[in-house]
Every structure is written in structure tokens, then in C-alpha cells.
Chain A
Amino acid sequence: MSLVTITENIIKLLRDYWQVFLLRGVSITLLLSVITVFFGAILGSLLAFARMSRFKMLRWPVAFFVELIRGTPILLQLYIGYFVAPQVFPFLGMSDFASIAVALIINSACYVSEIVRSGIQAVDKTQNEAARSLGLNPAQAMVLVVLPQAVKNILPALGNEFVMIIKETSLASTFFIGDLMTSYLTVKGKTFLSLESLIIVGAIYFVLTFSLSKIIGVYERRLKVSD
């Protein structure tokens, strides 16, 4: 196996299967990632506030759930989501894509909840105390003083979560959901050129995640300006 053959094969695969990689694969991967990050951020924020709640009855179950999800492999959660969720909730009529997306959203939400929680708790305590002593009630102090500062901590980390999710959606290929890694399975299943397909898919993943990290980097620097 020489570099020349590999290069030739890669060119051949790109010529014959570029739609499979670039159109189908990339679009499904991005779609799944965007859906996961968007709903994961919303659900994650709710979980974060629930976990910081004064009520033990709310705080404890949520803390347990978050730790449970964070402490088990995401592949296992995908299996549970794919096989069990549609049977427990048959009335929802979830498609395969939906059940995988829900599993990813729940996983992402638990990580995001920790990002949000640490972002809020990283804001100096005196900010809250000062706000309260100026006569703001707890809710006002949170919304008007603490949260605007917390957002600056949270957003860059959320961007990194997006990058993580792009890579983690590859596990959904276990169920041939159509993402980039499924493109790899499809093409190598037909052509038996595993290494070449892997290199192509790897390059695409890298372009996606690297350009996204760069965009996040620019945004992060902009946030710093106002410090």
C-alpha cells in the first residue's frame, strides 16, 4: 500500500462519491449538531437553574440526573434513546433521527448545565451582594447584574460544546443516521476503501471544527474588549 495508491483512491472516491460526503454527510452532521446545541442550551440552562434552586426536591433529582448522564458513555445513551425511547413513548411517533437527536440533546444539556452553573458562580459574589444592598430583589440582581457578566463566561464555552457535539454526532452512525461517519460506512461498504474514506471524512470534520473554533476565537476576543 503506497501513498500514491492511497492518493489515487482518494481522488477516485471524491470524484464518485463527493455528494455522499459533502452534501448528505455534512448537512446531516451540521443539522444534528445545530439542533443539539440549540435545544441543549435551552434545556441545559433550565437544568442549571434547577440545580441552583433553593428547593431540595428540585435540586437533588436534577443533580442526580445530570451526574448520571455525565457519568455514562454517550454511545450507551444513544442505544437507550434509539431502542427504548420510541417504545416508552410510542405516541410521539419519533423517527430514528428524532430519537437520536433527543438523546444527544439530553446529553448536551447536562454538560451545558454545568457550563452555565460555573459561568454564573464564577461571577464575583460581591456583585450580587452589591446589587442586593442597592435595593434590587434576588431576581433583579440575577437578571440585571449577575447574568450579563455570566454570559461572557458561558458563550465561549458553549461554542466549544458545539465543536464537541460535531464530533460526537459521529456516534450516531451506529444507526446509519446519515451523518458524515455514516457516509464513511456507506462508501467503504460499497468500495472497501476504508482508509481512504476515513481520510476524506477526517479532513471534512477537521475543516468544520477548525473553522468553527476560529470563529469562536474571534468572538471571544471581541467580548474581551469590553472588559
Chain B
Amino acid sequence: MKKLFALALAAMMLLSLTALSENGVLTVAMSPDYSPMEFIDTSKSGDEQYVGFDVFLAKFIAEEMGKTLQIKPMSFDACQTAVQVGAVDMSISGFSWTPERAENFNLSDYYYAGNNETEQIVIVKADQAGQFATVESFDGKTVGAQTASLQYSLVTTQLTNSTVKEFKVVDDAVLALMTGKVDAVAVAKGNGDAIMANNDAVAWSGFAFEVDKSAEDNVIMMQKGNDELLAAVNAALAKAYEQGLYPVWYAQALELAGIETASEVSFTDEGAAE
């Protein structure tokens, strides 16, 4: 059994080196259930149905590299596996930079998705809106967060007297909030705004985390060792930044996600300035 597995693994590695996706196509893994970063527009079909900030970014990178984009949708944890085994060229799925990821993957330079990541907030049930403005107000409470996410580490480091409960995806944590399994959920601001705009049962708690500068931005994940690809991606990112495309994409993504409260989201030029 072990031998067979080792054999299969060896074969897999060997083949993954030779069987990288054909020329002319850039395959990108993403988990399209994370509005406004990437989600599915149900009125469209095929590759057109994937929309959101990361999709605009992926399209731009593919264009810069002279390739056609092919999006491979899969769950968030499967995205990392896909990059690791070389089933896709890269994954753009709202990844934050972490030391563990940097060790196992080639990570791109930062890209800046509006204020999706710069602000990290806590949401609660609508009838408790604004009642949790301080760290102390979370004492003894259970706070939900996506597993292995930035929000998870923020809860453990800043809301030290609360109990953190992990969920595979943010939406499951929100479901737990609505069914009373957790008292609050930690989310990225952009994602939280999308949730609150669509779901009247949840509201802002009044609390925002203090966010470390390094954690604010997202990175693109690529297979370890492919430095040529990394350089090409970083060049594309630099170009997108120079042309001031990030704020444009973010505004478009918010609009597609149905977040009319864009003024409340207070999107300013600071994004492009950083």
C-alpha cells in the first residue's frame, strides 16, 4: 500500500513536470464563492460566468503574458493542492501572505484589492448591531473564522478572551452565526460588506481589528521553483498598479456583487497611492 502510494506519488511528480498546461493557455485555480473577489454570475455560462476582482486580475495577467485565460473553479483548499501538483499554473483566490505559504509556494508581489483586506471586521446578528465595540465585549464569546485565514489569526491574537471556532468557508461561519452556533464572525471588510448587503440578518458589530501592514494585501500562489512565471506575474502586477487598475477593478467587482453601499465602503484613492 505504502509502496504503491510512493510509486503513484513519484509518477505524479515526474508527470507534473512534463505535463504543465499547454502553451497559450494560462490556467488559474480559484474558489468562486467569495464575493466580491471571485464569484459566479448566474446569468452567464462557461468561462464568462466567473466575475470579481481576482478574475479581472487573472484576465489582465493572461493578456500580459499573451495567453488565453482558463479558470479552474474548485474549493479554497483544493486550490492549494492544484498549484502544488501542477494541475494549474497559479491560484488567485484572495490569498494573504503567510510564512507557511511562502515556504511551500512561489508567492507573487502584493496586489491591493480595494479595502477588502485593509480592514478586518467582526459581524454579528442584526439585533446586536454595534453592541461589540471593544475587545472586552467579546470576552467569553465564540467567534467564527475561516480556517487557516488571516481572520483566524486576528481572532486568536486580538480577541484573546474569546473562543475561536474554525470553518472551512466564511459562509459556513455566517450560517453558524445565524443559527446561534457562534456569537460573531471575523471577516475581511469587502467580504463582510457583501454579506451584510445581501443578508439582513447580520450587521457590523462595531469592532474592527488592528491590521498589520504586511497582512493587508493579497498574493498569487504559484508552484515552487518556477521563477520565470513568477517574474512574468510580478511584471504584470507592477503594470496594473502603475496604470491604477486595482481601484477600477474593485469598484467593478463591488457593483457586480450588488453592493450599492459603495459610499459606505469609503473607497478612495489611498488604494492606488500605497
Using a CB–CB distance below 8 Å, which chain A residues touch chain B? Answer: 1, 5, 17, 19-20, 68, 79, 82-84, 86-88, 90, 96, 174-176, 185-195, 198
A83 lies within 8 A of B85 (CB): yes
- B165 beta carbon closer than 8 Å to chain A: no
Shortest Cβ distance from B127 into A: residue:
A1
**Which one of B32-40, B131-139, B213-221 contacts A?**
B32-40
User: Separation in Å of the A127 CB from the closest CB of chain B?
Assistant: 38
Q: Are B199 and A193 in contact (CB under 8 A)?
A: yes
The 8 Å CB contact of B35, one of A19, A68, A79, A189, is A189
Interface string of B149-177 (1 = CB under 8 A from A): 00000000000000000000001101100
B29-65: CB near A (< 8 Å → 1, else 0) gives: 0001111000111100000000000000000000000
Shortest beta-carbon distance, A99 to chain B, in Å? Answer: 10
Report if A87-B15 is in contact (Cβ < 8 Å); known contacts: A176-B74, A189-B40: yes
Alpha-carbon gap, A189 to B82, bound state (A): 21
- Contact A195–B81 (Cβ < 8 Å): no
Which B residues lie within 8 Å of A186 (CB)? 32-33, 39-40, 42
Please give, as numbers and ranges, the residues of chain A lying within 8 Å of B72 by CB-CB distance.
Answer: 96
Tell me if A188 and B33 are in contact (CB < 8 A).
Answer: yes
Question: How far does the alpha carbon of A82 sit from the alpha carbon of B172 in the complex, in Å?
Answer: 25
- Kindly list chain B residues whose C-beta atoms are within 8 Å of the C-beta of A198: 175
Instruction: Apart from A189-B40, A190-B198, list 6 A-B contacts with CB within 8 A.
Output: A175-B78, A176-B32, A186-B40, A191-B198, A192-B199, A194-B175
Contact A87 B87, CB 8 Å, known A174-B75, A192-B174: yes
Q: In this complex, what residue of B is CB-closest to A68?
A: B1
Q: B174: which A residues are within 8 A, CB to CB? A: 192, 194
* Separation of A96 and B8 alpha carbons in the complex (Å): 20
By DSSP majority rule, is chain A's interface helix, strand, loop, or mixed?
helix
* A20–B43 alpha-carbon span in the complex (Å): 9
When A5-B201, A174-B75, A175-B78 are in contact, do A189 and B33 touch as well, CB less than 8 Å?
yes
Contacting residue for B40 out of A79, A90, A190, CB 8 A: A190
- Count, A-B residue pairs, CB within 8 A: 92
**Residue ID in chain B nearest A191 by CB atoms:** B198
Q: Does B178 belong to the interface (CB within 8 Å)? A: yes
CB <8 Å contact, B11 and A88: yes
Q: How far is the CA of A26 from the CA of B40 in the complex (A)?
A: 18
Given contacts A190-B39, A190-B40, contact A83 B179 (CB under 8 A): no
**Residues of chain B lying within 8 A (CB to CB) of residue A88:** 11-12, 15
Q: How far is the CB of A80 from chain B (nearest CB, A)?
A: 8
Say yes or no for B195: interface residue by CB 8 A criterion.
Answer: yes
Q: Return 10 A-B CB contacts under 8 Å, by A number.
A: A68-B1, A83-B87, A87-B16, A90-B15, A176-B40, A186-B42, A187-B42, A189-B35, A189-B40, A194-B175
